[in-house]
Amino acid sequence: MNPDQDLLGHAAARAIAYTATIDGRGVAASAPAVDGLAAFDEPLPDRPGDPTETLDLLATVGGPATVATTGPHYFGFVNGATYPVALGAAFIADAWDQNAALPVMSPAAAKLHDVAAAWLNEVLGLPTATDVAFLSGATVANATCLAAARDALLIDAGWDVQRDGLFGAPEIQVVVGERAHSTLGKSLGLIGVGRERVLVVPADDQGRMRAELLPDLDPGAGPILACAQAGEVNTGAFDPFADIADWASERAAWLHVDGAFGLWALADPTRQHLVTGLRRADSLATDAHKWLNVTYDSGIAFVQREGALRRTFASVAGYLPPEHGFEAMHHTPQSSQRARQIEVWAVLRTLGRSGVAAMVQQSSDAARVIGARLTEAGVDVLNDVDLNQVLVRHVDGPTTERLIAAVQEDGRIWCGPTQWHDETAMRVSVSSWKTTVHDAERAAAVIVELAHHL
Ligand SMILES: *Cc1c(COP(=O)(O)O)cnc(C)c1O
């Protein structure tokens, strides 16, 4: 092996050693590890140095100051772990360093795009013709879908946004649910329709849009863009898609669904009652770095209106049909891009259809166990645990804040806060493939122990 390969072997060994320790250590970075980050405060070197030493510094100083999100005991935000096959595929794909912008730049990336896209449509039960684009996360996937929606709605109204911009365009009527994810506003702002220039539909106690309160909008007053949600970030609740889709189709509205983690319920035969009508959406967004447990950053946009992504994102002659297969740079906001589809393909190929369903079921079973144990112990669970989220309040908001601080201080697990009905609650999100029902029992025992000590 030459020195370059020795260096890579060394890096791989360091990376593998990290994965071997992650399950057993405290979940949060220890205070000494965080203090140790000061070792990175070096002056910019004047001249070239030893790359092995750089990698060693990275591993020894950086590694301990990470949060153990890839282990079984992390329940914060909705942060997924990473399957070994995803990490392994990432190693190989990073070595390839392919630009996935155009098929001519990487036949391998182009082929794996097509295979991963077809498999995603199949495992989620979406029409085979659905356009699939790989992006950096759900925020950008939402924005990508919404930009395509904006342009399609306005083309139908006789206005070409790509040519003429939004000034003077017919006004789009934008409808969102009261519990839409905070980043949806960012996506709406980015596409120029405004974060707050929206009609907000009230939600029920689980955070589901109340479809009976959808406004009786007149499509004659401007095209309609409706944003629904699969998986409320605190409760995991699903909007009533069948009713929303009926409302949307009566008004020729574009229905978009943010399913950053909840969209994967489509793959679970035991959860089809939650997703009735969801497949009727014109566009859908999800993350693969959350529930599919690939590495960051990985989001996916699904657009069912043929040509809509291309109309918005083509750099040249957007009206032309694709001639040389799927050209990612003409279907996404980016031009150069890494081949995120490779890890998605690797996980789908390894799990298979039943394995994706089992991933959703395992996390949801673990969440149900946590919810049940907390309830038995007198700690309040505020949501119906139908998916992977458990929303917890102990006594009241301030006591819950003390419980969260105690959990984070303790270090055996990690959970974070949220606001629910204007008071603090604790969110327990099961998003790691490693978290089994056994780990859930342990996590619940930790929470109960700390709650009783308060
Ligand atoms: C996490 C999340 C997002 C944002 O996803 P990123 O991948 O962080 O951009 C959007 N919507 C919902 C419902 C989410 O859970």
Q: Is the pLDDT of residue 319 over 60?
A: no
Ligand 1 binding pocket includes 183 (Cβ within 6 Å): yes
61 plus 158 within the same structural domain: no
Distance 357 CA to ligand 1 centre (A): 21
How does the average pLDDT of the chain come out, rounded? 96
pLDDT band at 323 (very low <50, low <70, confident <90, very high): low
Position 320 pLDDT exceeds 90: no
pLDDT digits (tens, 9 = 90+) for 185-197: 999 999 999 999 9
The pLDDT tens digits of the residues spanning 49-62 come to: 999 999 999 999 99
User: Do 177 and 234 have their domain in common?
Assistant: yes
* pLDDT for position 317: 57
User: CA 351, CA 353: separation in Å to the nearest integer?
Assistant: 7
Asked if residue 76 lies in contact with residue 416, where contact means CB atoms within 8 angstroms, the answer is yes
- The number of the ligand 1 atom at minimal distance from the alpha carbon of 137 is 7
Residues with Cβ within 8 Å of 433's Cβ and at least 6 positions away in sequence, in order, are 81, 83, 293, 359, 362, 363
* Percent of the chain predicted with pLDDT > 90: 97
The residue among 261, 253, 312 whose CA lies nearest residue 281 is 253
Mutate to test the pocket of ligand 1, among 69, 136, 227, 233 (most ligand atoms within 8 A of CB): 233
Whose alpha carbon is nearest atom 1 of ligand 1?
260
Count of positions (residues) in the chain: 454
Among protein residues, the one whose CA lies closest to atom 14 of ligand 1:
260
Q: Is 236 in the pocket of ligand 1 (CB under 6 A)?
A: no
Q: How far is the CA of 79 from the centre of ligand 1 (A)?
A: 10
**Looking at residues 222-243, what average pLDDT do you find?**
98
Q: Which phi-psi region, left, alpha or beta, contains residue 317 (left: φ > 0; alpha: ψ -120 to 50)?
A: left
Q: 96 with 143, same domain? A: yes
- Is 360 part of any domain? no
What is the average pLDDT across 231-258? 98
Q: Are residues 62 and 106 in the same domain?
A: no
pLDDT at 132 over 60: yes
pLDDT(321) > 60: no
* Interval 397-432: pLDDT, tens: 999 999 999 999 999 999 999 999 999 999 999 999
pLDDT of res. 1: 72
Mean pLDDT of 214-222: 96
Query: Confidence class of residue 322 from pLDDT cuts 50, 70 and 90?
Result: low
Alpha-carbon separation of residue 442 from 280, 370, 415, 435, 439 (angstroms): 40, 9, 14, 10, 5
Domain extent, residue 9, equals: 3-68
Looking at the fold, whether 183 and 324 belong to one and the same domain comes out as yes
Q: What's the rounded mean pLDDT across residues 150-159?
A: 97
Mark whether 103 and 28 lie in a shared domain.
no
Domain count, the chain: 2
Q: How many CB atoms lie within 10 A of CB 377?
A: 15
Residue of the CA atom closest to atom 12 of ligand 1: 260
Distance 302 CA to ligand 1 centre (A): 15
Are residues 36 and 171 part of one domain? no
The C-alpha atoms of residue 219 and residue 236 are separated, in whole angstroms, by 31
**273 belongs to a structural domain:** yes
- Residue 78 within a domain: no
Q: Across residues 291-305, what is the average pLDDT? A: 97
At 2 the pLDDT is 92
User: Which of 299, 327, 347 represents a domain boundary (last residue)?
Assistant: 347
Residues 45 and 9 in one domain: yes
Q: Is 233 in the pocket of ligand 1 (CB under 6 A)?
A: yes
Encode pLDDT of 327-358 as tens digits.
999 999 999 999 999 999 999 999 999 999 99
Q: Is the dihedral of CA 118, 121, 125, 128 positive or negative?
A: negative
